[in-house]
Amino acid sequence: MRVEVDRMACAGHGQCSATAPAVYELDDDGFCLPVAAVPPGAEDDAEAGAAACPEQAIEVAP
């Protein structure tokens, strides 16, 4: 599974991390960090975190 974060579109709401903390981490300013790998079994969480982003700054693909 591939997760791409558009850091320019991220507004730092933190909804991705609040929804899926095992997948999405935030930097010191509250912006989503790039996702290197989705932990095994957290695929649904990755999709839920992306869906929670109000800016639609996260794309999840198989």
- Give mean pLDDT in consecutive 10-residue pieces for the chain, a chain of 62 residues: 97 98 97 96 98 98 92
Give Dmax (Cα) for the chain. Answer: 29
Whole-number pLDDT of residue 20? 98
pLDDT for res 40 = 95
Task: Provide the pLDDT for residue 6.
Answer: 98
Q: What does the block give as tokens for 5?
A: 């974060």
Q: What is the pLDDT of residue 8?
A: 96
* Residue 5 near residue 37, CB atoms below 8 Å: no
How many residues are given for the chain? Answer: 62
What are the structure tokens assigned to 62, written together?
């198989």
CA distances from 34 to 23, 50, 57 (A): 10, 12, 11
